[in-house]
């Protein structure tokens, strides 16, 4: 049986007297899309911040590819293959799509960020950056300033930037946030196309998208993990449905995305 690519053991994080993640343990297997869901304030983004290194854990361990990365800073985790996207796009609007992706390639090489502009003119960086853009359907927009792109295209570009670092694990924090129906459909199709090629941890409020994409789903409520399983098991879990206040937030089997 394959070993987990990511393993969390008893993660705890407190802000004052509030336990935001409370003894969270879960495994993420190679090649799977593992969604983390829960009501607002459940601790989902805090958990992603702990995994990526944005926030230190108060207790517990994080293993990545069998190695303990609990105390490694963000940039060293990124070098090992963890790529993170944020709820708010983190692109440079005055740079073209190609230049944004080329910077990510440059960062993955460990090149100093003092050399922003030359990155866009180096052939090798451009080729790798263009390949990342092509993987998300943006090759034709390579010369477009990122600030002139639509919201959905900016989300695609952010994903291209993550892919340009050649990650082993993608941490996606609400990649569909703010997207309209057509943009959501396009982004879901894009993420579905990455299944098996990349391991993905996905935080997302769009339950239709989650159940269309995820191989497994973990549910956080008030910082505690209450369930992990396949979409059908989570859909019919009475404790999970109660956590969503009885609303029709969990799509029925076979519901379209």
Q: What is the pLDDT of residues 24-38, one digit of tens each?
A: 999 999 999 999 999
> Which pLDDT value is given to residue 2?
81
Can you give the pTM of this predicted structure?
0.88
Cα 38 to the chain's mean position, in Å? Answer: 16
> Which pLDDT value is given to residue 120?
45
Looking at the chain, how many residues does it have? 257
> Which pLDDT value is given to residue 84?
86
d(CA 118, CA 177): 33
Name the token pair of 187: 């982004």
Topology, domain 1-81+167-257: Rossmann fold (3.40.50)
> Which pLDDT value is given to residue 107?
74
> Which pLDDT value is given to residue 139?
96
Residues of the chain with pLDDT under 50: 87-88, 112-117, 119-120, 254-257
> Which pLDDT value is given to residue 114?
45
Domain segments of the chain as ranges: 1-81+167-257, 90-166
Sheet holding 216-221, edge to edge: 82-85, 169-173, 199-203, 33-37, 216-221, 224-229
d(CA 99, CA 214): 32
């Amino acid at each position: 049986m394959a070993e987990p690519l990511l393993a969390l053991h008893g993660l705890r994080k407190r802000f004052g007297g509030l336990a935001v993640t409370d003894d969270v343990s879960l495994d993420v297997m190679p090649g799977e899309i593992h969604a983390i869901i829960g009501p607002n304030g459940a601790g989902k983004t805090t958990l992603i911040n702990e995994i990526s290194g944005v926030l230190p854990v108060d207790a517990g361990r994080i293993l990545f590819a069998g190695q303990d990365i609990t105390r490694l800073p963000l940039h060293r985790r990124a070098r090992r293959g963890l790529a993170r996207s944020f709820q708010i796009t983190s692109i440079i609007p005055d740079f073209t799509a190609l230049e944004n992706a080329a910077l990510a390639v440059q960062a993955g090489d460990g090149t100093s960020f003092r050399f922003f502009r030359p990155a866009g003119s180096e052939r090798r960086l451009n080729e790798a950056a263009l390949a990342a853009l092509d993987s998300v359907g943006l090759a034709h927009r390579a010369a477009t300033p990122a600030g002139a792109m639509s919201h959905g295209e900016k989300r695609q570009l952010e994903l291209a930037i993550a892919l340009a670092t050649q990650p082993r694990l993608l941490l996606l924090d609400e990649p569909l946030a703010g997207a309209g129906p057509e943009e959501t459909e396009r982004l879901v199709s894009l993420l579905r196309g990455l299944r098996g090629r990349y391991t993905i941890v996905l935080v997302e409020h769009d339950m239709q998208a989650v159940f269309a994409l995820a191989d497994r789903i973990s549910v956080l409520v008030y910082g505690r993990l209450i369930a992990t399983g396949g979409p059908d098991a989570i859909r019919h879990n009475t404790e999970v449905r109660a956590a969503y206040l009885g609303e029709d937030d969990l799509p029925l089997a076979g519901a379209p995305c």
